[in-house]
Structure formats: structure tokens, C-alpha cells
Amino acid sequence: MNLSKRILLVVMSVLIIANVSFIIKDIQTEVSTTRAIVQSAEAILNKTVSRLEEKINKLETKMEMDILSTSGRENLIEKNLNNLPNKMKETRIALEQKLRMINIRINNSTVGALGSGVSIKYKGKFYILSAGHMATVGGKDELAMWENNQKICDLEIVKHAYGTDEMKDGTNGDDLILFRSKDTNIQPRFYVDIDAQEPILGTEVYIVGNPMGIDDVVSVGRVIVYKNKYMYITDNIYFGNSGGGVYSLEGNLLGIVSHMQPIQPDITVPPYMIFGIVRMNVIREFMRGVE
């Protein structure tokens, strides 16, 4: 091999070696770059995973808190439901006590009548509403007294409506009387409002009065029928309840106890007693014009 060829071969070898070196350096650079990219990607991925784990932990904590909160609410609701009968009982006891204080015991020694009444407030003044048969017609001088185990004060008649002839069938006649205290310094501490709407049939009602002179007896009945001026109910009303109030379960006045009405299909069957209550619209009409 001549010298020129040898020189050419050496030059080519050197060039090849140089190109290979450059290629190796490029590969190394690319590897380094790729490694950096991979490391950066790993860092980003690790950071993302860390954030996701943090969010998951927070979400799990919130879910646990919600579960605990829901459980707490359920426990509170359950507790309130369990206490509801007691609360209802307490409410009824409080209402019944108020109705006892609204109830008035009336003794008319002139006609020998012992009955009941209701303290009401009408046009800013206090009155006692009762059944008309608690006094004789035109009995302005009768001695009616407001009592409660002992005499409290004498009563005077403000207005009286008692249709004895019409009362024969127990449905048409008026049976109301309005008293007020002769001593203007003595006034009821509690009074009742007349309800705005008559109860539907089957409604449960309170009856308060003084049967056989027993003070402030509260009982419960149901409305069974309406006839003319009266609402009829079932209950254990007795003599002494006359003039007492019949109330809604909210404590508003629905009527005044008037009379007993026997139901007897024939003489072989014991009579079944229902009780006539002066209706609230009759009471409203009766109170019209009172000053």
C-alpha cells in the first residue's frame, strides 16, 4: 500500500472515530436530558400523588365527620321522638290546668242551682258565661254567687236567654246567661276566647265543670251530631256541669253545656245519654249588643 492510501485510510479512520465520539456525546446528552425529564416527571407524579392522597384523606375525614354528624342528628331526632309523648303530655297537663282556672263554680241559692260557668273577656270587660237555666227568667234579684270552695263574690245578671217552651225537644230554645261580678275589684285572672270555627264530627273536645259540686273536673268527649242551636257530644257530663265550657284541644271555647238528651228506641232498652252543647255561633249572636 502506497503512502497516499495509507494517509487517506488514517484520515478516514480519524473522521469515523470523531463522528462516533460526537454520536456518543449526543447519545449521552439525550440520555441525560431524558433522565432529567424522567426525574422531573417522577417529581411531578409524586407531588400529584401526594396531593391526591391529601385530598382523599380530607375527603375520608369529611365523610367520617358527616357520618358522625348524621348519626348525631339521627340520635337527636330519635331522642326528640322518644320525648314527644312526654312533651305532648306536659302540654295537655298545662292546658287542662288553665281550663280549670277558667272554670267558674256558680251557686244560685234562689233557685237551688249549682253549676258551672266560663270566664270570658268581651270588648275589654270580664264576664261569666253560663247556661240560661242557672237562673229563672227575669230573675234579676236572684242570689247567684261565684264560688271556689268558699264564696268569692255576688254576681249580677247582664243578659239572659232561656226559652223553656222551645226547650221541650231539646234542640231549639236558647239556654245562655251572662253574669258579671258586683264587686268590680274582683276579676277573673284567666279567660278564654271563642273559637273561630266549629269542630267537625268526631272531633275530640274538653269538657270542664263542677259535676255534683266537685270543683274543676276535666273530661274528654267527642262531637257526634249538630242539630239546630246545639252540638251534641258523648261524655260523662252530670248535674253541676251545666253552664261549663266545652273547649277545643287548643283551649278555645266551642260551646256551653246545656242539657242531657236520652236516646231510647223502646222501654226495654236502657237510655243512652248524649249531651246538648250551646253552639258557638249561638253564643256569638247572644253576645251581640253587650257593652
Q: What DSSP string runs through 144-175?
A: EEEESSSEEEEEEEEEEEE-TTGGGGSSSS-E
Instruction: Find out whether 74 and 80 touch, Cβ atoms under 8 Å.
Output: no
- Report yes or no on 263 lying in a domain: yes
- Report yes or no on 131 lying in a domain: yes
- Among left, alpha and beta (phi > 0; psi -120 to 50; other), residue 19 is alpha
- Report yes or no on 70 lying in a domain: no
pLDDT in tens, 124-149: 888 999 999 888 766 555 667 777 66
- Report yes or no on 53 lying in a domain: no
Into how many domains does the chain fold? 1
- Report yes or no on 86 lying in a domain: no
The rounded mean pLDDT for the chain is 78
- Report yes or no on 60 lying in a domain: no
The DSSP H or E segment spanning 274 is strand 272-279
Q: What is the DSSP letter of 182?
A: S
Q: What's the confidence (pLDDT) of residue 111?
A: 75
Q: What's the confidence (pLDDT) of residue 1?
A: 57
- Report yes or no on 54 lying in a domain: no
Which CATH number does the domain housing residue 159 bear?
Answer: 2.40.10.120
Nearest to 120 by CA among 244, 207, 214, 237: 244
Cell of 75: 340520635
Q: Which residues pair with 221 in a beta bridge?
A: 205
Residue 221 has pLDDT above 90, yes or no: yes
Cell of 82: 322518644
What domain range is 132 assigned to? 102-287
Q: Report the pLDDT averaged over residues 199-203.
A: 92
Nearest to 215 by CA among 133, 258, 272, 152: 152
Residue 245 has pLDDT above 70, yes or no: yes
Q: Grade residue 207 by pLDDT with cuts at 50, 70 and 90.
A: very high
Instruction: Find out whether 259 and 167 touch, Cβ atoms under 8 Å.
Output: yes
C-alpha to C-alpha distance for 210 and 103, rounded to whole angstroms: 8
- Report yes or no on 33 lying in a domain: no
Q: How far is CA 58 from CA 48, 53, 62, in A?
A: 15, 9, 6
pLDDT in tens, 249-285: 989 999 999 998 887 778 777 778 899 999 999 999 9
The answer for residues whose C-beta is within 8 angstroms of residue 181's C-beta and 6 or more apart is: 126, 128, 146, 153, 154, 155, 156, 187
